[in-house]
Structure 1
Amino acid sequence: MATSVTAPEDQAWLDVFDAVGAAVHEATAGLLGTEAGRAEIGVGAGGDHTVELDRAAEEAALRELGRFAAAGHPCSVLSEEAGVVDLGARWPLVVLDPVDGSVNAKQGLPLTAVMLSLAEGPTVADVRVGWTLNLISGERWHAVRGAGAFRNGRPLAPLPPNGRPGRIDVLGVESRARDLRGLLPLFDRASKVRILGSIALLVAHGAAGGIEVFAVPFQARIFDMTAGLLMVEEVGGVVTDLEGRSLRDAPVGLENRTTLLGSATPGLHELALDALRS
């Protein structure tokens, strides 16, 4: 049961995550949607091509986290570009995606985010704090295990379902074009479909209920979802893979992948899962 009271230690991490977000925003503001920003400079630890936008964002984020660690908060960082960075302790582990929705960022589309989470152990169930910032709008989402989920600092209460019984009013999807056919049973149940291009923002809006059901049909990195998964859990929602298997024991790492199905309304998750199984 969420208490809505954030412990001082968790608040300290949220404060440094805010500092990271501000630093990343400043570092990337002139690179979003530019040729300079999408210039390839290498391959990151996650296997994707690293562009100048990624480099600038990660460098800014690691600088802020390094200062925090040096001030008496040792940790490690797992970042999409750099991999594991030792800042004085194995745990806690800061999971960092400095530019989630990188295609949007490179193309200048206004849905891209910084995602951070804090894990005390190796699995999704060990994530204690989750934090996401929309780099364009400035909208901030966070969750603290046992203390609730929040949108711009206000407690998050999911919107109730708006569709007719047996229907999904707004279905949110993150997918490559070739994988969309795997979600046809959900499309048949949905009135409207949204593809945001950022898993971190998709799951955050799923926790808010604006996206009633969210689905990812390809093997996506669990890494990118960790903050949002905690948000959904804290509002009483359900998240599984497309087969209905829990993700709580899934390892948090760059190499670990899964499909995704979730909703802040457990009944809608059940409806979607039944549709996929039929």
Structure 2
Amino acid sequence: MVIMELSIESLKKIALNVYRAIHPILGLKEASDKTTRGAGGDISMQIDLIAEKIIIDSLEKENVDILLISEEIGEKYIGNKEKAIKDQNILIVDPVDGSNNAVRGIPYCSVSIAYAIGKNLKDIKKAVVLDLVSKDIYWAVKGEGAYLNDKRIFVSDLNLLDKCFFELNLPKK
């Protein structure tokens, strides 16, 4: 069985496409227009929907058969559904991770993309997180390491528990 995999370069390209569309509207009112409740239960904002559409359009151009799982639309098959199911090609995305920061101009938001062949966490093969403010791109390929832009990065062994930051987001009633 030959599976048409998305390359790490394809994932980076998708993330950069989102950056080009989203970066100019960070902090603007048009980005914060609320639409509907997304599949994840949160209120979707215009910025989320724009980013998600860019991802869908990019996948369609890649001519790939894949199940897209997104915070906004939930599950959507791109290309041939039966082939995507058979190959277990899955792309998990958060189109704008940190939407509330993005619409307020707070510089902590990203597009997060993970590619898996299979339904389990261990099946993730490649991932990309692109900072929508700085354009820094964190990426990894299973078994090949992780990178910040083109520089190899490693897990730190420092114990920084006393320097932890905790954020709590309580919904309005």
| 1:182-261 map, 5 Å | none
The ranges of structure 1 where at least 4 consecutive aligned residues each deviate by more than 4 angstroms after the TM superposition are: none
Which runs of no fewer than 5 residues in structure 1 stay unpaired? 1-8, 179-278
> How far off is 1:169 after superposition?
5.1
| 1:15-164 map, 5 Å | 15-68=9-62, 70=63, 73-87=64-78, 88=80, 89-90=84-85, 91-161=88-158
CA distance in 1: counterparts of 2:17 and 2:11, whole angstroms = 10
- Quick one: structure 1 residues 172 and 146, their matched pair in 2 at CA, closer, same or farther if it must change by over 3 Å? farther
- Quick one: structure 1 residues 131 and 174, their matched pair in 2 at CA, closer, same or farther if it must change by over 3 Å? farther
> How far off is 1:158 after superposition?
3.3
Identity %: 27
Contact 1:78-1:94 at 8 Å conserved across structures:
yes
Cα RMSD after superposing both structures = 2.1
Contact 1:114-1:133 at 8 Å conserved across structures:
yes
CA distance in 2: counterparts of 1:28 and 1:168, whole angstroms = 34
Secondary structure at 1:133 match in 2: strand
Q: Deviations over 1:68-121 (max 9, x none)?
A: 1x2xx3211111111111122122100011100111111111110000001112
CA distance in 1: counterparts of 2:122 and 2:74, whole angstroms = 21
Report the residue type matching 2:119 in the other structure. Answer: P
Name 2:163's counterpart in structure 1. 170
CA distance in 2: counterparts of 1:149 and 1:18, whole angstroms = 13
Name 1:223's counterpart in structure 2. none
Secondary structure at 1:137 match in 2: coil
Give the TM-score normalised by the residue count of structure 2. 0.84
> How far off is 1:18 after superposition?
1.5
Contact 1:16-1:65 at 8 Å conserved across structures:
no
Report the residue type matching 2:74 in the other structure. Answer: G
- Quick one: structure 1 residues 86 and 114, their matched pair in 2 at CA, closer, same or farther if it must change by over 3 Å? same
Report the residue type matching 1:123 in the other structure. Answer: N
Give the TM-score normalised by the residue count of structure 1. 0.54
Larger radius of gyration: 1
> How far off is 1:172 after superposition?
3.9
> How far off is 1:47 after superposition?
1.2
CA distance in 2: counterparts of 1:80 and 1:114, whole angstroms = 12
Contact 1:131-1:143 at 8 Å conserved across structures:
yes
Which runs of no fewer than 5 residues in structure 2 stay unpaired? none
- The structure whose RCO (Cα within 8 Å, separation 6+) is larger is 2
Report the residue type matching 1:64 in the other structure. Answer: S
CA distance in 1: counterparts of 2:97 and 2:44, whole angstroms = 13
CA distance in 2: counterparts of 1:25 and 1:143, whole angstroms = 19
